[in-house]
Structure 1
């Protein structure tokens, strides 16, 4: 594992992909609704757990959404938890009622 993990947006499949040494290590699924990007599910493969890859894919996906001028809607519990710990994204987030807690 010498290569830095890389986050790539795959619009065709509606997900961000985390690649580590040519292997798909994780995904963050989304759907777009106009100017909103709704994150629905995030997972990191079991073989890649415990390395902070969840944080890597969350940051990569969220940074890309902000760069594209989209409003982030965190339906995914992992993305919602990440956003609550990173207030720098606050102005770009629209919280669904069930995720505000």
Structure 2
């Protein structure tokens, strides 16, 4: 994660079912659904002003850290999240078995 994003707080906006990361007055979000101990990650949105700066990756990493703390099983429905997991396979430990590649089972 880009060190400049580490100290930024992740907001769990449960009402809108999205995690939010505010950077320089602009907010990136990751929409989710929570069912018991399953956290479905549905859609990541990074405003144009923040794209290409690692904000999306920082948001996903912060959400995965939170999922680990809460002992949640992740279901990566968002293509951006799936790509992040592919690039950081250590996180597959949180992913529901049916959503992991065969090499990570």
Deviations 1:2-49 (A, max 9, x none): x7443221112111101013x232100000111100000001000111
Distance 1:77 1:26 in 2: 16
TM-score by length of 1: 0.84
Unpaired segments of 5 or more residues in structure 2? none
The structure richer in strand per residue is: 1
1:1-101 superposed matches below 5 A: 4=5, 5-21=8-24, 23-94=25-96, 100=101
Q: Would you identify which runs of 4 or more consecutive aligned residues in structure 1 move more than 2 Å?
A: 3-7
TM-score by length of 2: 0.81
Shift of 1:51: 1.0
Shift of 1:96: 5.1
Q: How many corresponding residue pairs?
A: 97
Unpaired segments of 5 or more residues in structure 1? none
Tell me how large the CA RMSD over aligned residues is: 2.0
